[in-house]
Amino acid sequence: MYLLYRRKCYQRLFNSLGLSLLALSVCSQTVRAEGSRTLYPSGATGNRANIEWRNSTYGNLVQRRTLLKVYAQAGEYILMGSSAVKVNSGNIRVFNPGAVTGSVGNETIPTSADFSCAAQTGTNTGKITSRTLELAGPRSADGTGNTSGYIPCVYQAPTTGVYTIVFSGPSGENSNNETASTGDIELTSADNFNSKQTTSVAAWDVTVRSSASSTTDINGRLFTYYFAFFTGDNGRYLNFPVYPVTTDGYQYEIKLRGTDPNGFILYGNQVGFYDSDGKTPLYHDVLAKDNTLSPVEAGTSLSRPQYATFLNPLDTQTLSSIDRYRPDGTLDGTGVPLIPTVPSVDSLNFLGTASGNTSSLGTGGTFTFNTNITGNYEIVISRDSSDFDPTNSQNRVLRGVMNTSGLQSVSWNGKDNSGDNFPVGTNYQVRVKVHAGEYHFPLLDAENNFSGGPTITMLNSSNPLGNTTVFYDDRGYTTIGGTNVGVPGSVLCGVGQPSPAFSNPISGFNSSNNDRKFGQFGNNGNTNVKCTGSFGDAKGLDLWTFYPSNTETTPLNIINFGTTISGTLYQDSDRGDDFDPGEPTLPAGINVKLIKASDNSVVTVTSTKADGTYGFTGVVDGSYKIQVDTTNSNIPVGFSLGTPNDLAVTVSGSAITNQNFGFDVYKVSPQAGKIIINEVLYNETGTGSSASTNDEFIELYNASSSAVDLSGVKLADGNLIANSVETASNAFNYTFPSGTTLQPGQYAVIWIGSQNANTQAPDAAFQAWLGFSTRLTNGGDDVWLYDSQNQIIDYVAYGSGNAISTPPPSSLNIWDSTYQSSLSGANDAQSISLTRNGNDTNTSACWEATTSGNASSRCPSYLPTRDTDNVGTRVTSVGVNNNGSPKVLLVKRITRINSDDLNDSVDGAGTDDNDSKWPSGYLRGKINATGVKPGDEVEYTIYFLSNGNSSVTNVKFCDLVPGNTTFIPSAFNGQTPNDGVSGGNQGIAMAIGSTTPTVYLSNTADSDRGVFYPANDPATPTYCGSNSNGAVVVNVTNSSLTSLPAATGQGTPTNSYGFIRFRVKIN
């Protein structure tokens, strides 16, 4: 009944081209209000979704928050309230027109607002504390009218424009806390009004009125570009309408009727999602590994929110003040037309590569056409000249966005939808149309839609397709980049798949029906893991509609002219630089260019098929180069082109085959990060190059917490994977003998020259002498460390020049060469050192000429390198720590007596508690506790700080329980996290980089880091001394925290400090 009533408020404005265009008039409407009472009026069915304000994102693009906008004229009153105002950090903040800037979905919110509801006086000001008050709406601004309503926060608009309003829950504006909301429309639970709303708001209201005494709501003023909703669970169904308007003035009603998400974003835009090129509309769904949709698969991406979405049919006075945004979120101007333009297209033309509208096989061409609108276009090349299905694999569809009207130009690569060449033939029919008012309704992570819907209705125009006609396609597909998402042509994964899996691609379906029903009924399907939950879980689902233009057609011809060039991209398993039988091929979607040799212009681009092959057709005689795009994302990680790029070919009538490209496979060893290259001396002492005087060396270090077997490990001056090595006289390749083991914190030194008094590292656990003359080139060289399978353990390079082999692919992230060139300037007999010692950050920024300080400004957590060498003028720290000795400070305090925390700051007699690198205010508690009596509980906290010149490894802690006390074994029972061991008593707490415990430890000798040894236990570690009353032992470092880095500043880095804590009872 309401829908019929509302439609009577339209007035017919004009007829054009046989299409009726309608616009809303300003006539009387039933009272609808603006806010949660709009979405859930009296008698509403289903469930409630709270609005959210969180600091997380969907798809790494759209903020999970509801940023509201309201249009008000100067002097009008904006009345506001919510169920979260003045509950902890709950607030409503208002920003004047123009104060909030930035792209839609990632706006910049100023720190200071123009109005804050929480700052207003009055206990109940701005507070909606019941369903009755929600439905009643606000009192008048002066309090004289609608006295049964809530007491609003009131802001009088100083200027005419669009105001931005932020509703925050009790957790404030910078939190990602989550407590399940009730989903209750009637607000019967107290949790709808207390701190359990956390980052959401159950009831909220923004009402515009003309004067202080007015009780008449001016509706159609409140909108947003995106809603962040949270129902708190599945099996909670949403039944409400919203009213978007596109940037070109087409108005819609989107009516949810049983949509069952949990947390989700509701918004609309012109594109829905982007294909893998980041600019082509996808017209499909996107898949992700979890509910954050960050990232989505195969290089596809989300398009930002774009369209203003109102809670009521819009007030047409608002249109001139609505900001228009492009699909990429950038501002495109202000003002939306009241009367939308009927789209039209004409002058479709095809320019082929041979002549006129004729192209050579596989070379494509260019389409041009003219249109009167901005919006989206669709070009379909029909294989049989009658079927224009854009999804038919034998047809070809070209789609895109037009940011300007007028003449448009669209390139075609000569392929059909399956990636094969469009075959030779004549008079293939091509059809173009453009879309006005295109509206995409992406549903992000909306698990269930068991009742179908939403119903989308065009309001201010008579759509030739039907006013409730929409489209969807829930099938798998292949991206522009050649990557499959799901199984192309088959419905995507998930429980409760829609049937049919797609709408008619040309005529769509009636959205008032339930064709798009998907998911499950009830509280099911929210696993947040790809393909395991309901159909909508961990996906972005697209639904779209548009106002079509007329269609324009033109023919094209394909001829078999010219010759072909073909080849294969393969994995060069034997590193022979030729394609051998049985060698694997690379995947589909890797771009290969054909380039004119004369001017380096690109003739055409093709991409590999699933078997790694590529081909160019219709190539005319001439000289060319073939080039692989080595940056293509479809090249597997660790693959690097090993054969030459820019293959030269000369075409002279005959087909050219076997233009192959071989890729070497680089793999990172499991030993990476454990054994590292720690120091290199390449500029030997003196000028002699013989083995007897050569003191070049490479130092390795075991940075792990366990022994490492070096048997078969190779240290080489060259790339053994790509056979990119220097001549024998300039290179070395050393293999560690069987049985070689390096313990944690130990060093191995490989001397390039012969063994003599000057080539000794007494502190190293292992040394070897290769007996070579100088091998490391001073101007630039590289050092590689491989395991026995030629997988890379570590890599270091310095300087530049031919002595540096083909480097490992950047995708492996084992070396950042930014400062590599500067490392070649070491003086005679001066090494280059890693700092911090043993901290392999895989970057040249943390290497420097020893003692130079060059890395101090570029390396995080830098420590100075040192010279410990006593051989002549040599400047190295060979076989010992590059930075000096580690050191740990310990400060013990009493931090709690019974239930009273002691937050005193006490200066002890020693200097350890005065060290400047302790975090400010970190050391709290008393040194002595007076007045304790038998039965009292006392908490001891032992603070630690790594404050030496290097990282501390293998840190073990022991503290003896004081006499006349008893260790409390259950002091921290039930606290989490528990270091991987659940069950049993927890009497020990530990923190790393935190003022509160980060892990709780059990007392027994199990797999966690803590043990309590009772008095006189023979298993007590010897480093504890005499255990007469119990001992608390903690292994501070373990496999997940292999060392405590030395502090470089106050509380920096955060894992350089922490504490151990336990409690006792006074006997």
Running DSSP on this structure, what letter comes out for residue 45?
-
Least trusted range by pLDDT, from 245-249, 343-347, 447-451: 447-451
- For residue 570, what pLDDT band results from cuts at 50, 70 and 90? very high
> Residues of the chain with pLDDT > 90: what percent?
75
Task: State the DSSP code for 266.
Answer: E
Mean pLDDT, residues 39-55: 96
Residue 96 corresponds to which amino acid?
N
430 phi and psi angles, rounded to 5 deg:
-120, 135
Q: What would the two tokens of residue 418 be?
A: 């399956």
948 Cα distance to chain centroid: 37
Q: Which fold has domain 675-849?
A: Immunoglobulin-like (2.60.40)
SS3 316: helix
User: Which pLDDT value is given to residue 321?
Assistant: 98
The mean pLDDT value for 117-143 works out to 97
Give dist(CA 383, CA 395) in Å, integer.
5
1009 in Cβ contact with 1058 (< 8 Å): no
Q: Which of 188, 209, 191, 189 is nearest to 200 (CA)?
A: 191
pLDDT of residue 526: 79
Q: Which of 89-98, 266-275, 393-402, 728-737 has the lowest mean pLDDT?
A: 728-737
Q: What is the pLDDT of residue 930?
A: 79
The predicted-structure confidence for 298-336, as pLDDT tens digits, reads as follows 999 999 999 999 999 999 999 999 999 999 888 999 999
Give residue-wise pLDDT tens across range 181-200: 999 999 999 999 999 999 99
> Which of 376-390, 435-449, 768-782 shows the lowest per-residue confidence on average (mean pLDDT)?
435-449
Whether the CB-CB separation of 274 and 300 falls below 8 Å is answered with: yes
pLDDT of residue 23: 30
In 475-532 the beta strands, taken as DSSP E runs, fall at 477-478, 484-485, 509-510
- Mean of per-residue pLDDT scores for the chain: 91
Alpha-carbon Rg for the chain in angstroms: 35
Instruction: Give the start-end residues of each E strand in 372-516.
Output: 375-381, 396-402, 406-412, 425-440, 443-444, 455-458, 469-470, 477-478, 484-485, 509-510
Query: Which ranges constitute the DSSP H helices of 11-128?
Result: 36-39
Q: What's the confidence (pLDDT) of residue 520?
A: 84
Q: What is the mean pLDDT of residues 399-416?
A: 96
Q: How far apart are CA 939 and CA 181, in angstroms?
A: 38
How far, in Å, CA of 177 to CA of 55, rounded? 9
DSSP-derived secondary structure letter, 810: G
Residue of 400, 423, 414, 404 lying closest to 350 (CA atoms): 414
Quote the CA–CA distance of 270 and 470 in Å, as a whole number: 14
* pLDDT tens-digit map of 658-677: 999 999 889 999 999 999 99
Q: Which class does domain 562-665 fall in?
A: mainly beta
Give residue 31's pLDDT.
42
Taking residue 319's Cβ as centre, other Cβ atoms within 10 Å add up to 19
Backbone dihedral angles phi then psi of residue 529, each to the nearest 5 degrees: -130, 130
pLDDT, average across residues 535-554: 95
Q: Is the pLDDT of residue 652 over 70?
A: yes
Residue 724 has what pLDDT?
Answer: 65
29: pLDDT strictly greater than 60: no
- Lowest average pLDDT, out of 372-376, 453-457, 518-522, goes to 518-522
Q: What pLDDT was estimated at residue 638?
A: 84
- pLDDT (0 to 100) of residue 71: 99
DSSP string spanning 1051-1065?
Answer: TBSGGGEEEEEEEEE
DSSP 1014: P
Predicted pLDDT at 24: 29
Sorted by where each begins, the domain ranges of the chain are 31-230, 562-665, 675-849, 888-1066
Q: CA neighbours within 13 Å on the CB side: how many for 842?
A: 15
Where does the pLDDT of residue 32 fall: very low under 50, low under 70, confident under 90, or very high at 90 and above? Answer: low
* Architecture of the structural domain at 888-1066: Sandwich (2.60)
| Type of residue found at 575 | R
The pTM score is 0.62
| Residue of 2, 59, 63 lying closest to 29 (CA atoms) | 2
Distance CA 591, CA 651 (A): 21
The helix, strand and coil proportions of the chain, stated in percent and rounded to the nearest 5, come to 5, 40, 55
What is the torsional sign of CA 603, 608, 614, 616? negative
pLDDT greater than 60 at residue 22: no
Using one digit for the tens of pLDDT, what is the confidence trace for 802-830?
A: 899 889 988 889 999 999 999 999 999 99
Of 17-26, 104-113, 324-333, 832-841, which range is least confident?
17-26
Are the C-beta atoms of 902 and 926 separated by less than 8 Å? yes
pLDDT in tens, 754-787: 999 999 999 999 999 999 999 999 999 999 999 9
- Do the beta carbons of residue 602 and residue 593 sit within 8 Å? yes
Q: Are 871 and 879 in contact (CB under 8 A)?
A: no
Tokens of 6: 């509302």
Q: Compute CA distances 302 → 288, 324, 726, 833, 891, whole Å.
A: 11, 18, 48, 45, 52
Lowest mean pLDDT among 100-104, 294-298, 794-798: 294-298
pLDDT of the residue at 500: 95
pLDDT tens digits, one per residue of 263-307: 888 999 999 999 999 999 999 999 998 888 878 999 999 999 999
Helix (H) and strand (E) counts for the chain?
Answer: 3, 73
Confidence at residue 262, expressed as pLDDT on a 0 to 100 scale = 81
pLDDT above 90: residue 15 = no
Whether the pLDDT of residue 155 is over 60: the answer is yes
Q: Which two tokens stand for residue 207?
A: 């009402």
Q: Is the peptide bond before 548 cis (omega within 30 degrees of 0)?
A: no
Element (H, E) at 62: strand 62-65
What is the structure's pLDDT at 637? 84
State how far the Cα of 679 lies from the Cα of 1004, in Å rounded to an integer: 41
